[in-house]
Amino acid sequence: MVLFVTGRCSRSCWYCPLSRERKGSDTVFANEHPVDIPSQMIKEAENMSALGTGITGGEPLLCLDRVTFYCRLLKEHFGPDHQIHLYTAKAPGDDELSQMKGLVDEIRLHPPHECWNTILDTDYIRSAKRAKEMGFDIGIEVPALPGLELLIPALPFLDFLNINELEWGETNAYQMRERGYELADELHNAIEGAKGWADELCRHDKVHWCSSAFKDSVQLRERLKRIAENTARPFDEITPDGTVVYGVLEPPLLQRAGCTQFCERKLDPGSFQDCGDRIEMAWWLLEKNADELPGKKYIIERYPNGGMVVEVTPL
């Protein structure tokens, strides 16, 4: 699960991928869902049978109490093996590390681009050494930018170094154009040439490359599939992409009762749900019985558990 703890951050990296909705806000999100009460976060983790959680932001260390509160809840509910990693653009000091000890398993440091050429003289290395001594797994995670090879001297102090393919987004598009960067293709958000900047660093064993396509296609699809398997109703069809498909009937007010009776008489109990102003059912049953059911009819494909609607097909 991805737990977004705050959109606040004291840095202003030109490549920041945060959306307008999240940047600067102080709302917590578990995956795509806003969290108003902590039990909603636990529910979302249960929905996807989460084995671990990535704490992200904004800058999570700006709300360390919130981070430790949620981590404690996760560890208490799912047990100590629920792996928790935390992203931060700060170099956590002893006090911050002590507060996270036993709650966060792995720290992923994001040193800003401008300090890569002096990385060994920065607090990030001091922080990495202390974190290691205290038993954390410690690594660096950065976007692919020119000059990645400047991070090679940091490798002996780290367990891993992750590079994420630089991505075009709604909030950094202007900065991308200013620098003359272009999209690699029309299907993904990856930037042309980003892989080349990582080539030298990627020769080292501790270094992992995460492509934009992998993140979008594989990681997202796997997450959606896990959520779909745990939350889909018997009549929801789960697609290979992890979305769910079902049919919706919106009967005219005066014919609602008749439509409900028709479904109760003709359909298996588990193949439809009366939702008040509409009846949801297996899409193929709606298609098959369309002539006998008055009202607006359509097929919906959406992310599981009431998530984003991907497509609506009228019948």
For ligand SF4, the binding residues (CB under 6 A) are 9, 11-13, 16, 18, 57-59, 89, 110
Cβ at position 185, least distance to ligand SF4 in Å? 24
Cβ distance to ligand SF4 smaller for residue 167 or 236: 167
Which of residues 11 and 177 has its CB atom nearest to ligand SF4 in the complex? Answer: 11
Identify which of residues 9 and 154 has a Cβ nearer to ligand SF4 in the complex: 9
In the bound complex, what is the minimum distance in angstroms from residue 92's beta carbon to ligand SF4? 14
Helix (H, G, I), strand (E, B) or coil at 26: coil
**For ligand SF4, which is the closer residue by CB, 111 or 307?**
111
Give min distance, CB of 223 to ligand SF4, in A. 21
H helices within the chain, ranges in order?
Answer: 38-47, 64-78, 94-100, 123-133, 173-178, 194-198, 212-213, 220-231, 256-266, 283-288
The three-point CA angle 10-101-34 to 5° equals 50
Closer residue to ligand SF4, CB minimum distance, 47 or 212:
212
Structure tokens belonging to residue 242: 């992890």
Q: Could you tell me the two tokens for 154?
A: 């940091």
Q: How far is the CB of 180 from ligand SF4 (least distance, A)?
A: 20
In angstroms, give the least distance from the CB of 10 to ligand SF4: 8
Cβ–Cβ < 8 Å for 196, 184: no
CB of 114 to ligand SF4, least distance (A): 11
CB of 297 to ligand SF4, least distance (A): 44
CA distance 300 to 120: 53
173 CB neighbour count, 10 Å cutoff: 12
DSSP one-letter string for 89-149: SS---HHHHHHHTTT--EEEE---GGGGGGGGGSHHHHHHHHHHHTT-EEEEEEE--TTGG
> How far is CA 131 from each of CA 28, 61, 120, 210, rounded to the nearest angstrom?
26, 15, 16, 24
DSSP annotation of 288 reads: H
Q: Is the CB of 12 or the CB of 81 nearer to ligand SF4? A: 12
- CB of residue 173 to ligand SF4, shortest distance in Å: 15
Burial 120-138 (b: 16+ CB within 10 A, else e): eebebbebbebbeeeebbb
Q: What is the token pair recorded at 7?
A: 């959109």
